[in-house]
């Protein structure tokens, strides 16, 4: 089954967008141009990028068009990466061991998988690492209890088909333009009915149960499952809040998925035609990786209820961008490696969310 899924992924084709040349961009911006002048409209989207655009189009441009590396450490995201890595390793190991007729991995194995994933995050060397490590143990206990409650292969127990499965969903916008929505599905289980369940792990607070009904992320995964992975429409899609042991599931009809497909094309057209006017708010700016370089950040927003997107503002952000890219100190230090292998890096094996170390 795994091979079938891998083949399905391979057939999907497509290529990620090329990265802008930071030196060319710096020179252009230093001459007074806008960084957006050198950037082609994106033909490559993900749920995260769509969500970022909804939050603030300028933040989207900084992250997905200018490809600026994130400044702030994100301990919660690193914790989530380590958890995803542990669960992925656990279910994969279990499937492979069972195929060889061996006993499934133990709770101690799960702990080791977490340690291994943890070591690949920046948290492993930070001062508050112990706080996060203590938070991990109850979560692993919860996961272990749920996974070991019923024997794998029993009528009541789903069989895990794959983890972190990449998909590429191709959407024609017009006869000459094809865009791609890509992503990774955390886990796909085969249910007793023969249909599949798509599972998205979540760390942190559990959302309301209705979130499984309304989640665009789950709808995109279900659409990919039906239209590109060859697994049919999933029987259910599930948000699995692993720290609380809560699983909220919902179904998706074919008609609903068709509507999602149309909606994705509409969003892609909107983004490709956007001038990335910022939409600052305390919530968006407070979590924005680019607030320090954005002239529209929340502190300025608080002085004015209406913020206009002037070309001067874009240029001001661009000049800061140019400084960042052209500073010899930055090239020797963090910025250089980050461009080659940090935030611009594609997802690496064993690093589920592509977070920086
Ligand atoms: S600081 Fe605020 S306005 Fe600026 S990009 Fe970030 S979210 Fe948007």
Pocket test for ligand 1, best of 280, 300, 304 (most atoms within 8 A of CB): 280
What's the gap in Å between 283 CA and the centre of ligand 1? 10
Pocket test for ligand 1, best of 294, 300, 317 (most atoms within 8 A of CB): 294
For ligand 1, whether the C-beta of 237 sits within 6 Å is: no
pLDDT of residue 298: 73
Ligand 1 atom having least distance to the Cα of 58 = 5
Separation of alpha carbons 206 and 278, rounded Å: 30
Separation of alpha carbons 351 and 357, rounded Å: 9
pLDDT per residue over 279-327, tens digit each? 998 888 888 888 877 878 875 443 343 333 344 444 455 545 544 443 3
Q: What are phi and psi of 235, to 5 degrees?
A: -65, -35
Token pair belonging to 140:
């692993």
pLDDT band at 354 (very low <50, low <70, confident <90, very high): very low
Ligand 1, atom 7: nearest CA belongs to which residue?
Answer: 285
For ligand 1, whether the C-beta of 217 sits within 6 Å is: no
pLDDT per residue over 328-340, tens digit each? 333 322 222 222 2
pLDDT per residue over 119-164, tens digit each? 888 776 666 777 888 899 999 999 999 988 765 555 456 789 999 9
What's the gap in Å between 132 CA and the centre of ligand 1? 28
pLDDT of residue 34: 66
Query: Which are the contacts of 69, defined by CB distance < 8 A and separation ≥ 6?
Result: 334, 335, 338, 339, 342, 343, 344, 356
**pLDDT over 60 at 343, yes or no:** no
For ligand 1, whether the C-beta of 288 sits within 6 Å is: yes
Helix, strand, coil percentages, rounded to 5, for the chain:
50, 15, 35
What's the gap in Å between 126 CA and the centre of ligand 1? 27
Q: CATH fold of 159-271, please?
A: Lambda Exonuclease; Chain A (3.90.320)
What's the gap in Å between 87 CA and the centre of ligand 1? 33
**Average predicted confidence (pLDDT) for the chain:** 77
pLDDT of residue 72: 65
pLDDT per residue over 55-68, tens digit each? 999 899 888 888 77
Residue 248 near residue 239 (C-beta atoms within 8 A): yes
pLDDT of residue 338: 27
**pLDDT over 90 at 218, yes or no:** yes
> DSSP alpha helices (H): ranges in the chain?
2-12, 22-30, 47-55, 57-60, 75-99, 107-118, 129-147, 211-214, 216-227, 254-272, 282-286, 298-301, 311-326, 328-332, 335-341
Torsion of the alpha carbons at 47, 53, 59 and 62, rounded to the nearest 10 = 70
For ligand 1, whether the C-beta of 278 sits within 6 Å is: yes
Over range 77-101, report the average pLDDT: 94
Q: What residue ranges do the domains of the chain occupy?
A: 22-40+53-72+277-341, 75-147, 159-271
Separation of alpha carbons 9 and 110, rounded Å: 28
């Amino acid at each position: 089954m795994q091979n079938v899924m891998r083949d399905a992924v391979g057939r999907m084709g497509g290529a990620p967008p090329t990265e802008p040349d930071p030196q060319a961009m710096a020179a252009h911006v230093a001459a007074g141009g806008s960084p957006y002048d050198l950037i082609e409209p994106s033909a490559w989207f993900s749920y995260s990028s769509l969500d970022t655009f909804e939050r603030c189009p300028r933040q989207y441009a900084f992250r997905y068009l200018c490809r600026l590396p994130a400044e702030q450490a994100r301990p919660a995201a690193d914790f989530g990466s380590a958890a995803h890595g542990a669960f992925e390793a656990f279910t994969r190991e279990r499937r492979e061991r069972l195929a060889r007729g061996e006993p499934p991995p133990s709770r101690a194995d799960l702990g080791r998988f977490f340690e291994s994933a943890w070591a690949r995050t920046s948290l492993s060397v930070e001062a508050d690492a112990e706080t996060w490590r203590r938070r991990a143990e109850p979560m692993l206990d919860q996961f272990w209890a749920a996974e070991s409650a019923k024997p794998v292969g029993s009528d009541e127990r789903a069989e895990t088909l794959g983890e972190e499965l990449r998909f590429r969903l191709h959407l024609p916008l017009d006869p000459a333009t094809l865009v791609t929505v890509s992503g990774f599905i955390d886990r796909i289980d085969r249910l007793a009915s023969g249909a599949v369940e798509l599972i998205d792990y979540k760390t942190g607070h559990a959302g309301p149960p209705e979130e499984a009904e309304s989640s665009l992320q789950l709808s995109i995964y279900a659409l990919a499952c039906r239209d590109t992975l060859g697994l049919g429409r999933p029987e259910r899609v599930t948000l699995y809040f692993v720290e609380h042991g809560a699983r909220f599931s919902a179904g998706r009809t074919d008609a609903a998925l068709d509507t999602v497909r149309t909606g994705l094309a509409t969003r892609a057209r909107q983004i490709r035609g956007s001038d990335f006017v910022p939409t600052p708010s305390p919530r968006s700016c407070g979590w924005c990786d680019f607030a320090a370089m954005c002239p529209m950040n929340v502190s300025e927003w608080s002085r004015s209820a209406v913020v206009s997107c002037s070309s001067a503002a874009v240029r001001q952000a661009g000049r800061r961008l140019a400084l960042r890219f052209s500073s010899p100190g930055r090239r020797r230090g963090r910025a250089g490696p980050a461009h080659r292998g940090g935030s611009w890096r594609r997802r690496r094996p064993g690093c589920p969310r592509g977070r920086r170390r």
